[in-house]
Amino acid sequence: MLKARQCLREIREYHSPLSEGNFELRLDMNESTSGCSPRVLARLQHMDAKKLALYPPREAGEAVVAALLGKSATQVLLTNGVDEGIDLLCRAYLEPGDEVILIVPTFAMYEIFAQVTGAKVVRVATTAEEDFAFPAEKVLQAINPRTKLIVITNPNNPTGTAIDRYTITRIAQAAQDAAILVDEAYFDYYGQSMVDQVGLLLPNLFVARTFSKAYGMAGFRVGALAGPAHHIGVLRRISGPFNVNACALEVLRDAVTDRQFVNDHVTQVKETREWFGKQIEEIGFKTWPSQGNFVLVNFGEEKEYILKQMREWGIALRDRPDVPGCVRITIGKQKEMEVVVMGLKQALDNKNKPAETQETAETQSEEEQPAP
């Protein structure tokens, strides 16, 4: 009888919320609600049938991204989203029984890709009681000769907390036999990076970047992994030769060079993020300072009711069952977030009405639901 490997049979499946229904306003995937640069759309319109019929070479795209990161093309590998880069690192450097240190809560796919290799996942927890501060000393204590990969998401998802360069350097130096992956998917909203250290004093450092967030290109599935040239060479051996699609490669230069578009989007998100956080606190819920394009909100006992009500109104928020009572909310455009605030207030107002008026309130809410 055919059976998958034992480690695969024990892995829990990643369930994307995209399969849960159609929503007018999706604030559950940390995508940009502003979309991509107009230059990207214009470039797409000039693609012809012949170009789409050919396998796309990624070398030109890697040169573009290398220039953006200030690295040589030999230090950069384009990937099918950051997910592929994580997978490649795990397959290249993990053996069964090796240990991977993850700082949780975090992106679920790190654990899944690590477990595929038969490696053991060591979870180092951050807590709401400590405002999700990075547990540097606990991470250092967890390092041992079996440690072969440490993943640091900076800023972290879903908490939005950031880690300073000094702490990352300490960890990289303490685990010289391990790959250190710094996932900078939300770099544009934070502004601090470790990419300048790639290939220099930290020979085990890798930095991941994505074009799915600030560039508004999640549908293109293009990411990048920067690392020492000889290690990137190893990853090229196991990467598919045509892993990035023709459309993504065609528009990459236009996306990267339209700095005004990206800067305007980032500025708007930061301003709206600050405004939204204040609104949440005024309503009476706890949130934490975030350096990403999202905030984590503690709705406590009201969480399930709020999620249900928002779904009924066509607004998708991201439940985080790994953080009790908490929901992650992507920061969209200002008017979109005003709709969310109005919806939260209306939902709580409906719930707090006397029982005998609840049915009337529900009928009114259907007629007066917030419009995304």
Per-residue pLDDT of the chain (372 residues; tens, 9 = 90+): 887 888 777 777 776 676 567 788 999 999 999 999 999 999 999 999 999 999 999 999 999 999 999 999 999 999 999 999 999 999 999 999 999 999 999 999 999 999 999 999 999 999 999 999 999 999 999 999 999 999 999 999 999 999 999 999 999 999 999 999 999 999 999 999 999 999 998 999 999 999 999 999 999 999 999 999 999 999 999 999 999 999 999 999 999 999 999 999 999 999 999 999 999 999 999 999 999 999 999 999 999 999 999 999 999 999 999 999 999 999 999 999 999 999 999 999 887 776 545 555 455 555 556 656
180, 56: one domain: yes
Single out the residue of 170, 171, 207 nearest to residue 71, CA to CA: 207
CA distance 264 to 274: 16
Single out the residue of 109, 54, 27 nearest to residue 247, CA to CA: 54
* Residue environment code for 98-131, b if the CB has 16+ CB neighbours within 10 A, otherwise e: bbbbbbbbbbbebbbbbbbbebebbebebebeee
251, 319: one domain: no
What integer pLDDT is reported at residue 9 of this predicted model? 77
What integer pLDDT is reported at residue 13 of this predicted model? 74
Percent of the chain that is helix, strand, coil (3-state, to 5): 50, 15, 35
In a domain, 117, yes or no: yes
194, 51: one domain: yes
234, 322: one domain: no
Number of domains in the chain: 2
Do residues 75 and 209 make contact, with C-beta atoms less than 8 angstroms apart?
Answer: no
Give the number of residues written for the chain.
372
In a domain, 358, yes or no: no
134, 81: one domain: yes
Give me the domain span that covers residue 69.
38-257
227, 187: one domain: yes
Cβ atoms within 10 Å of 214's Cβ, excluding its own = 22
68, 201: one domain: yes
327, 200: one domain: no
What integer pLDDT is reported at residue 352 of this predicted model? 78
In a domain, 1, yes or no: no
What integer pLDDT is reported at residue 201 of this predicted model? 85
Do residues 325 and 300 make contact, with C-beta atoms less than 8 angstroms apart?
Answer: yes
